[in-house]
Amino acid sequence: MPVKIADGLPAQSILENEHIFIMTEHRALHQDIRPLKIGILNLMPTKVATETQILRSLSNTPLQIEVTLVQTSTYTSRNTSSEHLLNFYKTFDEIKNLNFDGFIITGAPVEHLDFEQVDYWDEMCEIMEWTKTHAHSTFHICWAAQAALYYHYGIPKYPLPEKLSGVFLHTLLTPKSRLFRGFDSEFWAPHSRHTEVRREDIEKVPQLKVMAVSDEAGVYAVCSEDSRQFFITGHSEYDADTLALEYKRDLDKGLDPKIPAHYFPDNDPTKPPVMRWRAHSTLIYTNWLNYFVYQTTPFDISEKI
């Protein structure tokens, strides 16, 4: 929660420079409170697991959040019951006239396809365009980050020689960004993907800023110049066993996958994996909600974004 201070207190400028969430008495007296409206377009096949992971990440804040789960109408998941989708999800057609304080678009297991070959690509493009006017800030994860960088800025993706799977060490390039408030200079984050975007392509676009990178996993975090769009190429929301379950799934399919890097103790898949990214996951979602949604979104959400 914000720290309320007296108007004109000398500490105000110091705290603001440190990105400490403060609020003057004048602002507090005139503040109305309402739930933040957050939409989640869940493109993952394991929808229940993914929605649980993201909701857990969003819950580490005292802010009241109202979540709307969204699915595409041009493609229906075969791995989630129709009853679950009917009871808890809305299609884009059902929400496209609404405004959201924040919108999250998840990854999807379609990296082997060119973007235009994805069954729901036209609808995905419509949604990404819609977020520019109906979502105050949009948070893209993994494939969605690559898709959005391609759609909005023409950044291509490239196939990797083998699947990138594991938990990798990252370095902050913009340590003073509010997105990284509370972060150490280095942090761990999971990745699970077959393609990449390249730093040199992103740095050619003046409206984009590369925020964090990994020597092994490449670009991790990118933001737009106006901080309305964030692109995260990893899966900070993953549970401790998610990569292990993916590894077993690929083994069962006969794909001969590599053991996820920096994940199992002694690189031994029979041992329980080490969870080393939970604190970072909590912070990145909390900071996004606080600094780039809550503090800047209009109170009247019906206002043009």
Mean pLDDT by 10 residues, the chain (305 residues): 48 58 53 79 89 85 85 80 82 94 94 94 97 96 98 97 97 96 95 97 98 98 96 96 96 93 96 94 94 85 65
Largest CA distance in the chain: 66
Query: Residue 5's pLDDT is what?
Result: 42
120: which residues sit within 8 A by CB, 6+ positions away? 72, 74, 75
Residue closest to 94 by CA, chosen among 34, 41, 58:
41
Query: Residue 58's pLDDT is what?
Result: 85
Q: Could you say which DSSP state residue 258 is in? A: P
Long-range CB pairs of 176-179 (<8 Å, 24+ gap) are 176/19, 177/211, 177/223, 178/19, 178/287, 178/290, 178/291, 178/292, 179/211, 179/221, 179/223, 179/230, 179/284, 179/287, 179/288, 179/291, 179/292
Cα gap 2→176, rounded to integer Å:
19
Query: Residue 23's pLDDT is what?
Result: 52
Burial (CB count <10 Å: 0-12, 13-18, 19+), residue 88: middle
Enter the tokens of residue 196: 């990449």
Residue closest to 187 by CA, chosen among 213, 223, 148:
213
Residue 252 vs residues 1, 92, 245, 247: alpha-carbon distances, Å: 46, 35, 10, 9
Q: Which of 111, 237, 246, 280 is catalytic?
A: 237
Q: Which of 123, 134, 140, 142 is catalytic?
A: 142
Query: Residue 7's pLDDT is what?
Result: 61
Query: Residue 97's pLDDT is what?
Result: 94
Q: Which of 140, 170, 235, 280 is catalytic?
A: 235
Query: Residue 230's pLDDT is what?
Result: 98
Enter the tokens of residue 242: 């998610």
**Known active-site residue 191:** no
**Known active-site residue 142:** yes
**Known active-site residue 223:** no
φ, ψ of residue 117 to 5 degrees: the values are: -85, -10
Query: Residue 2's pLDDT is what?
Result: 44
Query: Residue 20's pLDDT is what?
Result: 52
Query: Residue 76's pLDDT is what?
Result: 74
Look up the pTM and report it. Answer: 0.88
**Alpha carbons within 13 A on the beta-carbon side of 54:** 27
Residue closest to 189 by CA, chosen among 53, 109, 281, 286:
281
